[in-house]
Amino acid sequence: MDEWLKRKALKNQTSGASRTFIICESDSKQVIGFYALATGSVQRQIVSGALRRNMPEPIPVLVLGRLVVDERYHGLGLGVGLLKDAVLRSRQVAEQVGTKALLVHALSDNADAFYRHWGFIPSEIQPSTLLLPLW
């Protein structure tokens, strides 16, 4: 977690590649979780049914990257809180600019189950790519 924040987050923020949102422990101000959002696109054949209807090629999406909670804070609902914040921010963006879904690449079975539980739909041809319709 710390390594990505140190090496990538600030560089991506400065270059405009993504924006990183963090939560900190109230006393120490130590980062205990974060996620990153970026713009992107996905090929129509990767997206299932209703998500691709009447959409251009490629389909504009927001990409949720690196949703991470420090292991010492697992089980406290922080991951769900970060996800809800990411979805809220993404829906606000979708009201202003054209974007169809929030896309995530699940890097583990646990991550896949987490995102599916919260309504993300797996791609028919890339099951580790999941999308949540934003409208």
56 close to 28: Cβ distance less than 8 angstroms:
no
Report how far residue 72's alpha carbon sits from residue 59's, in angstroms, rounded to the nearest whole number: 38
**Between β-strands 121-122 and 19-24, what pairing exists: parallel, antiparallel or unpaired?**
unpaired
115 included as an active-site residue: yes
Q: Which of 34, 35, 115, 120 is catalytic?
A: 115
Catalytic positions, please? 115
